[in-house]
Structure 1
């Protein structure tokens, strides 16, 4: 056969050397030969391996419908094509370091490896393309490590088997064209493209099967246009794309990814670089998808996709740098999503998506930086905690009509430390089962919880301690909080509106509200604490505050109080305001502030009634004590019973200095009665001269002498009422109780009036003291 080939090669007729229907027994050694014409074998059987080592072929080498037992062709050079079409080969085919100026065509062939790879094309150079299509099958490894192929690798419909190893090893491959492995392509084993450089990878309808191992290993691959694992693509085993660089898109839409190695990801794509990553609409991933540290210029879109890794993280994109991320429009994720310290240029949209990881983290975006908007709205549902701790959102966080479900130990939504450049919307159909946390959150626009529902019965429903909102906070209309609302140390620059809200318990110690605090809930809360808070304008209703000392007002400050309201339903009378004060735990500074506000508004009667009620409530306090610091630093106490008696006396006498007219009326009445009685006593001679040392007969009350003051009933009555004052009547004239019973009555009356006068003076001094006392 060798001689015959040599002879035919010498002919110069331009026709190929052809052999048909031959059985070639023994070795066919054409090594280091120069084949000046095309060589074609059709329907031939070779009993031994063909040796084409370092052979130089000026034309095509064609094997069609042949039975072969190996092809040893390292360093083969051909100016045409190498065709192994519909060949059945048992043994190794070696094309190492070969150079083909045409195509390598293996269409419809079957390669079965016995020892080593089925096709060894390491460092192979092909100026055309490689066809492994139309029923091509290989049982064993196809190696094209470091090969250089100018055209396309077409493996559509190829069936490759090497369950314990690699079906194709194309590490460091340089492929200018596309790698086509779709249309019923099946690889049972690892298909490796590590550090390869290719034009594109098309694997639509391709099946990569290697459960528990690598199905597609393309670490560090460089792709010029796109990587398409879509439209019926299936990978049973890990797809490794870490450090890949894809100038176009990675499109996994409609692909299925399952059966990764234990405790590893089904798609491992850390530090990936791509224009876009699409895992949407009928995309299925059963296991973790990892994109940590990746750079995606345009978008990561998972709209309509399904991710499943129950009880663990299903999608991890920590540190990703991306134009936008979409996890909505029917996207379902059974497992957690992590976007820790991710950077997003435009928006994160989860509208209409669902993340389910009960009892753990559903969506974690701690440290996220988003230069646009975060949408968790319009049907978004999360079972498990959604976290945006210390995140930065430039525009808004929109959770309108979102549903968040936590549990007793895991908050439904936690955005502690968030800095939001716009508004935060938890409104209009927003539902949270479990705690919602906005601790130390900064919001540049508004916090809108209008018509939101927060359920965490007997625990914290909404926690916004340390909140800084430079706009308004709305907890109004059909806002419902089944649990506690905590706004301790919150700062709201504009208004806090709680109109028609339903709140179980409201705690807002040390809160600041710049303008209106509209506290008009639909139902009376079980407890309210606004102690040490400061608001601009208090707008409330009598039913806004619970009774039974469940309202805490200590230190509560407000610059204005709107008792007039905008309608009769929102008007508060002074009696209702007093009832509000009585129903709360005693807070004297609130009374005092109301007094100042009413006085400033010209409502002196309201101010007086509030001031009087303050002193009456002070009397009722169980720990009533008067404490004064002496100049020597000592402290002395005056106990409660004496102070209560003194307080009661001032209340009944001069109303703590606000009813001096009462004293005047009583004094005038007492003076008139005394005048009448002593005038009567003068007429009946019941008054006797009382001055000691008087010689001779005593002057009579009905007469005036030059040596003794005359008795004048009106002046006598006046002197009795005025302590200390000496009008030369009382010390000179006294009732004579020995003459008649009326004299004894007058005697007692004198002492009663004197005591009354002293009490009147004490009340006057005490009332004036209360008016000017600092603590009142």
Structure 2
């Protein structure tokens, strides 16, 4: 407890105003004098000790009957370390345009709403806090400092395992910890959502791993710079949220990592800029095993690094011609529908004339060969009623697979492709049959064969003889009834027999493969 004589004039003013919930404003009204950046030069007339504030909010100030006590302080220099760790704070706290000499420690506290608005603070430790209300850090500048007995870590803002019943507002805030974590909020529960809009800037990694965000995460227009040695700008691994918005100029100079995140509604990167790690090595987006209903991946320009969607599942995918970088990991990526953004409109991707070629080229951006992306795309075309396009995709899959086989396998695959398009173009066999039938009829029609037996027999027909050679099953009676003394014609006949067997084998193999996989 502080006596009246122990308090400075501004502290007496705060002490008297607290029970009535009145604001104490120590600002001069002159912009250059009230600039928080110069708060270190503010004198005793604007200085309030952190220990006095702690004493007030812990019960030293007597509340007036019928009035809610509240600490409201503007334009003050807070000297010393504000240590409220592990305590129960029964009244809201509001700081505006204040300059803190040392960090604020709220670790494990139970409290109502806390606002530190437009202020400069060397770190806020709020891990394991239980807050009935909102945490408001709008327009504030938070900077990490070296770990000390009064500062638990080098994180500028710690919300590890915190539970906030309202929103966490970081709009227009600037948080700096370029060598470590600007925000460390693993396990955070923010029922009202987290808001990082209106020019929010983070210098250092923002970590929300395992966070529960039923109110969503909104980073429209935010800038994540200088991600630190790991190259990660934002980590949302295994987070659960209603909405994740990275749009309207959202910029990340590092990897955005959403591994295992679950989004019950929208996940959007519309108009975002994903630059990837500054050193140029590493992915721009990692969304392995991510789940979302609506995935809008229409960034302002092509991401500079890899986009990894392996095992992700979305109901609706939105993309554009400049959505995808040179390398896209798509193995296991499942989607229900694709819409393309073009000329300010969104329409089904199957409406494009070059839809299949465009999508196959998209799949080919994946390193190596995997059948699942082709099968997923073909499944979507079939559901959309485009069976011909589905077959084109599956044919492209077989051609891609052929490149991975040994030479004999590649040769056999090429034969299947040329003969029947791996079973997806069976009409090719008919064309080959017609071509060789015409050729054989012409060749055999210009030469005279000899009967295999003396006496009457079937009349020679060049057309029927050719078909008898090409069709290996059954017989039309011509092949065994005639022979040739011309060696060239005899070799041509053997060629037709071989072609017939090859075409038949290719048709059977192609059709069997098609039926077994579809």
TM-score normalised by L of structure 2: 0.82
Q: Which residue of 2 aligns with 1:687?
A: 449
Greater radius of gyration (CA)? 1
1:764 aligns with 2:507: yes
Match of 2:335 in 1: 558
Structure 2 counterpart SS, 1:539:
strand
Deviations 1:103-156, CA, capped at 9 Å, x for gaps = xxxxxxxxxxxxxxxxxxxxxxxxxxxxxxxxxxxxxxxxxxxxxxxxxxxxxx
Contact 2:472-2:497 at 8 Å conserved across structures: yes
Residue 82 (structure 2) pairs with residue 284 (structure 1) = no
Determine which of 365, 382, 393 is the counterpart of 2:126. 365
Deviations along 1:323-368, whole A, 9 cap, x unmatched?
A: 44435311111222110121223x1111111102xxxxx1011111
Among candidates 223, 233, 245, match of residue 474 of structure 1? 245
Displacement of 1:513 after TM fit? 0.4
CA deviations on 1:508-566 (whole Å, 9 max, x unpaired) are: 1010002x11111112221110101101111112321111xx21111111111124767
Aligned pair in 2 of structure 1 residues 437, 306: CA closer, same or farther (>3 Å)?
A: same
Aligned runs of 1:223-302 on 2, under 5 Å? 229-231=7-9, 248=19, 282-285=46-49, 294=58, 298-302=69-73
Per the alignment, do residues 250 and 762 of structure 1 end up closer, same or farther by CA in structure 2, a change over 3 Å counting?
closer
Q: Deviation at 1:689?
A: 2.4
Mapped partners of 2:71, 2:509: distance in 1? 78
Q: Contact 1:367–1:391 at 8 Å: present in 2 too? A: yes
Compute the displacement of 1:413 (Å): 0.9
Who is 2:469 aligned against?
720
Whole-angstrom distance in 1 between the partners of 2:262 and 2:364: 28
What does residue range 737-776 of structure 1 map to in structure 2 within 5 Å? 737=486, 744-774=487-517
Distance 2:346 2:119 in 1: 43
Are 1:543 and 2:322 matched, yes or no?
A: yes
2:272 maps to which of 485, 501, 518: 501
Root-mean-square deviation over aligned CA pairs: 3.0
User: Is the contact between residue 299 and residue 323 of structure 1 (CA under 8 Å) also seen in structure 2?
Assistant: no
1:643-677 Cα offsets, whole Å, 9 max, x none, are: 22222222222111121111101101211221232
CA, structure 1 residues 467+677, in 2 after alignment: closer, same or farther (shift >3 Å)?
A: same
- Residue number in structure 2 paired with 1:267: none
Answer yes or no: is the 8 Å Cα contact 1:293–1:318 preserved in 2: no
Distance 1:301 1:759 in 2: 89
Match of 1:735 among 472, 480, 484: 484
Alignment pair present for 1:374 and 2:135: yes
Stretches of structure 2 lacking an aligned partner (at least 5 in a row)? 27-43, 64-68, 145-155, 277-283
**Corresponding residue SS for 2:401:** helix
Q: Check conservation: 1:432, 1:455, Cα contact below 8 A.
A: yes
| Alpha-carbon separation, structure 1, partners of 2:342 and 2:75 | 51
Q: What secondary structure is seen at the aligned counterpart in 1 of 2:249?
A: coil
Residues 286 and 309, structure 2, Cα contact 8 Å, conserved in 1? yes
The match for 1:412 is 182
User: 2:38 matched to which residue of 1?
Assistant: none
1:289 Cα shift? 7.3
1:620 to 397, 400, 403: 403
- 1:413 counterpart SS class: strand
1:326-345 matches, within 5 Å, as 326=93, 328-345=95-112
The alpha-carbon distance between structure 1 residues 728 and 233, as it changes in their structure 2 partners (threshold 3 A), is: closer
* Structure 1 residues 654 and 202, CA gap change in structure 2 (3 angstroms): same
Paired position in structure 2 for 1:658? 424
Point out where structure 1 has 5 or more consecutive residues left out of the alignment: 1-192, 195-200, 209-228, 235-240, 242-246, 256-279, 357-361, 625-639, 700-704, 738-743
> Which residue matches 2:34?
none
Q: Check conservation: 1:687, 1:736, Cα contact below 8 A.
A: yes
C-alpha distance in 1 between matches for 2:23 and 2:319: 57
Aligned residue runs from structure 1 range 322-721, under 5 A? 322-326=89-93, 328-345=95-112, 347-356=113-122, 362-377=123-138, 379-384=139-144, 385-408=156-179, 410-457=180-227, 459-469=231-241, 471-503=242-274, 504=276, 505-514=284-293, 516-525=294-303, 526-547=305-326, 550-563=327-340, 567=344, 573-574=354-355, 575-585=357-367, 586-621=369-404, 624=405, 640-681=406-447, 686-690=448-452, 698-699=454-455, 705=456, 708-721=457-470
What are the equivalent positions in structure 2 for 1:203-242 lying under 5 Å apart? 203=5, 208=6, 229-231=7-9
Alpha-carbon distance in structure 1 between the residues aligned to 2:74 and 2:482:
109
Per-residue deviation, 1:251 = 10
1:466, 1:318 → 2: CA distance?
Answer: 28
- The CA deviation at 1:724 is 3.3
Q: Is the 8 A contact 1:418 1:440 kept in 2?
A: yes
Partner of 1:197: none
* C-alpha deviation, 1:395, in angstroms: 1.7
Number of aligned positions between the proteins: 463
Q: Does the C-alpha gap of structure 1 residues 512 and 232 become closer, same or farther in structure 2, counting only changes over 3 Å?
A: closer
Residues 583 and 248 of structure 1: is their aligned pair in 2 closer, same or farther, counting only changes over 3 Å? closer
Change (3 A) 1:328 1:735: farther
Q: Would you tell me which structure has more helix in proportion to its own residues?
A: 2
Distance 1:423-1:568 versus aligned 2 partners, 3 A rule: closer
Contact 2:220 2:250 (C-alpha < 8 Å) held by counterparts: yes
Task: Quickly say closer, same or farther: Cα 1:232–1:442, change in 2 above 3 A.
Answer: closer
